[in-house]
Amino acid sequence: MNQALITDQEFALFQRLIYKIAGINLADSKKALLVGRLQRRLRELRVDSFSDYYRLLGSGRHPDEQQTMVDLLTTNETYFFRESRHFDFLRDEVLANRNPPRSFRVWSAASSSGEEAYSLAMVLAEALPATPWEVYGSDISTQVLARARAGRYPLNRNEGIPESCRRKYCLPGERGSEGTFLIAPKLRQQVRFGQVNLTQAINPAIGSFDVIFVRNVMIYFDNETKRKVVANLLPRLLPGGHFIVGHSESLNGITDRLSMVRPTIYRKPE
């Protein structure tokens, strides 16, 4: 099968579809990225063109195919302790000043393959040795959530992890898994993962959180979608809780229900 090319009209169809499903604005400059990520899928399905693939997505013949497409187009690169100042703030400002001490929950709302969620777990494990805590990690992609639940990463991915945490919470790969490390079971059991589409209503059953990290995902949304995402998340944030976005992101003009503590870090009034 020859490599399928995509026309401007076909690309526009996929732009509208991924926006409808996930709220993501796929810029015109991302055409090559879309082709690169979907090309192999077309070959696997023996589909000749992107138009044919688009029709297949809506045909009902492959009911899980839309999720497969979302997985392929939304997988993003991440790493442990990315934008480390946020973890310092959590440890030094939020956890150090808790009053009264009680159970503590953090939501990694765009957790990708789990590095952020496990980084948060390491901070909580170190800071709250005698207090119950939980990290909830979510993503729209089932593919990355499977990797997150497994908790196994290439050895060269551990560079951002503080040495003390590396010794405690990262187990070297055993026979057959050389060149990898595994997040220790005692940490993994306090990290739960689930699929959440942030642009849709959030199931209240996931509970409430003291801190919500929603970093490096809203850069893909237009302002209308950002407002919807923040409005969906805020009912799950406890009064006095913190809402943290990525270093290249801002909530300026997006919501008036949070006050800025410092750039990228916001607080819900008590």
Residue/partner pairs of 56-64 with CB below 8 Å, 24 or more apart: 57/17
The model's pLDDT over 23-33, given as tens digits with 9 standing for 90+, comes to 989 989 999 99
- Phi-psi group of 25: left, alpha or beta (phi > 0 → left; psi -120 to 50 → alpha; rest → beta): beta
Determine which one of 105, 139, 210, 236 is catalytic.
139
Query: What is the span of the domain harbouring residue 241?
Result: 85-267
Residues 109 and 168 reside in one and the same domain: yes
Choice between 177 and 223, residue whose per-residue pLDDT is larger? 223
SS3 234: helix
| The pLDDT of residue 1 is above 50 | no
Percentage helix, strand, coil for the chain under 3-state DSSP, each rounded to 5: 45, 15, 40
Q: Of 213, 241, 237, 216, which is closest to residue 117 (Cα–Cα)?
A: 213
Q: What is the DSSP letter of 95?
A: I
Label residue 58 by pLDDT band (50, 70, 90): confident
> Which pLDDT belongs to residue 182?
96
Residues 100 and 139 reside in one and the same domain: yes
- Tokens 């945490």 locate to 165
Residues 119 and 158 reside in one and the same domain: yes
Determine which one of 8, 16, 28, 37 is catalytic.
37
Active site residue 37: yes
Residues 51 and 128 reside in one and the same domain: no
- Tokens 């509970």 locate to 207
Residues 138 and 180 reside in one and the same domain: yes
Active site residue 28: no
229 within a domain of the structure (yes/no): yes
Over residues 127-148, the mean pLDDT reads 95
- Tokens 């490096």 locate to 216
Q: Which of 18, 46, 74 is where one domain is finished? A: 74
Label residue 173 by pLDDT band (50, 70, 90): confident
Q: Which of 21, 52, 74 is where one domain is finished? A: 74
Give the chain's mean pLDDT: 93
| The pLDDT of residue 92 is above 50 | yes
Over residues 129-157, the mean pLDDT reads 94
267 strand-pairing partners: 242, 259
Label residue 62 by pLDDT band (50, 70, 90): confident
Q: Which two tokens stand for residue 42?
A: 């077309």
- CATH code at position 228: 3.40.50.150
